[in-house]
Amino acid sequence: MMSRKQTIFRLPKDIENPYVRVDKQFIGVPGLSFRAKGVLLYILSKPDHWKVNVKDIVSHSKDGRDAVYASLKELMEYGYVQRVCHREKGK
C-alpha cells in the first residue's frame, strides 16, 4: 500500500478531443487489482463535472455492487479516490 497521496492529471475533453488520455502510472502499481484499475479508468474517463455515482458504475460493469464498492475502497486505500459526503439541509 502506498503511503503518499497520488495525483492524477486529466486533460479536458470536448467534441474536438473526445479521447481519454491518462498517465499510465497507476496501471503499474503491483498491489492494485485490475478491477480497481478499471474502475479508476472509468471514473477518469468522465467529464470534469461528473460526480461519482456507484449505481452508474455498477450499471456499466458485470462485477456487481459489492465488487464496485470493494474496488472503490481499494482505490481509497491507495490514495486515488477520496470520499466526500455532502448532505443537504434536513436530509
Contact of 39 with 45, CB cutoff 8 Å: no
**What are the grid coordinates assigned to 17, written together?**
478531443
DSSP state of 71: H
pLDDT in tens, 19-78: 777 778 888 899 999 999 999 999 988 877 788 889 999 999 898 999 999 999 999 999
Residue 82 reports pLDDT greater than 90: no
CA dist 66 → 32, 34, 62, 72 (Å): 17, 16, 11, 10
The reported pLDDT for the residue numbered 71 is: 96
Question: Residue 8 — pLDDT band, cuts 50, 70, 90?
Answer: low
Q: What is the pTM of this model?
A: 0.75
When mean pLDDT is compared across 7-11, 60-64, 78-82, 85-89, the lowest value belongs to: 7-11
